[in-house]
Amino acid sequence: MGFRLSKIYTRTGDKGETGLGDGRRVAKDHPRVEAIGEVDTLNSQLGLLLACLAVEVAECPALQELIEVLAPCQHRLFDLGGELAMPACQALNVKEVERLEAAIDAWNEEVGPLENFILPGGSTLIAQAHVCRSLARSAERRCQQLNAVEPLAGPGLAYINRLSDLLFVAARVIARRQGVAEVLWVAAAKPGS
């Protein structure tokens, strides 16, 4: 490991700018910094989901597979954050996208086709998986906004898109393996009925 943080505060960002890995200074609301922040938020919430899964595995050993599939995603999100902070860096590869697709296909086979819209809820784990899914979508939007002004290379955009799909299916798998009914959307009554 090359670099270590020996000092947490530098005072260099007190005027609304931050430094990127390539030495460039940009405003803290620059699209690149927004994308980095959303990826970081997702990573933090994914860490919470993994911690909650670890607690529940004792009661439901079938949840261990979710940990095995999702834990590497934290590292890949950190790689994506690195790519965003150092635009010349390329850490992600297409094999990671393919790994997510394989998990999506396997889990989707287990839960079967979606017949109704579902809402986040049913258990804390299911809801947290949906929090992560929605944050993955938010991170994807921020990355796409950045891509519109500074094109991004590599599979990062595909990765974050597949990750949101994986998290959606993970929520469904958690429900199935916990034996918890998914919360189905109920449409509002039509006016006058």
Rounded Cα–Cα distance for residues 159 and 93 (Å): 9
Any idea which fold 28-177 has? Hypothetical Protein Ta1238; Chain: A; (1.20.1200)
Return the DSSP state at 62: G
Domain range summary for the chain, segments of one domain joined by +? 28-177
- In angstroms, rounded to a whole number, what is the distance separating the alpha carbons of residues 72 and 163? 11
Per-residue tokens: 107: 């889990």
DSSP state at residue 188 = P
Distance between CA atoms of residues 142 and 29, nearest Å? 11
Which tens digit of pLDDT belongs to each residue from 106-130?
999 999 998 899 999 999 999 999 9
Q: What is the pLDDT of residues 40-78, one digit of tens each?
A: 999 999 999 999 999 999 999 999 999 999 999 999 999
3-state secondary structure of 26: strand
Place of tokens 């297409």: 94
| Per-residue model confidence as pLDDT tens digits over 125-155 | 999 999 999 999 999 999 999 999 999 999 9
Angstrom distance (rounded) from CA 50 to CA 73: 10
User: Tokens representing 164?
Assistant: 């949101």
- Whole-number Å distance between alpha carbons of 140 and 167: 13
Q: Which tokens go with 193?
A: 């009925």
Amino acid at 12: T
Kind and range of the H or E run holding 127: helix 124-149
For the chain, percent of residues with pLDDT exceeding 70: 89
* 173 CA to centre of own chain: 17
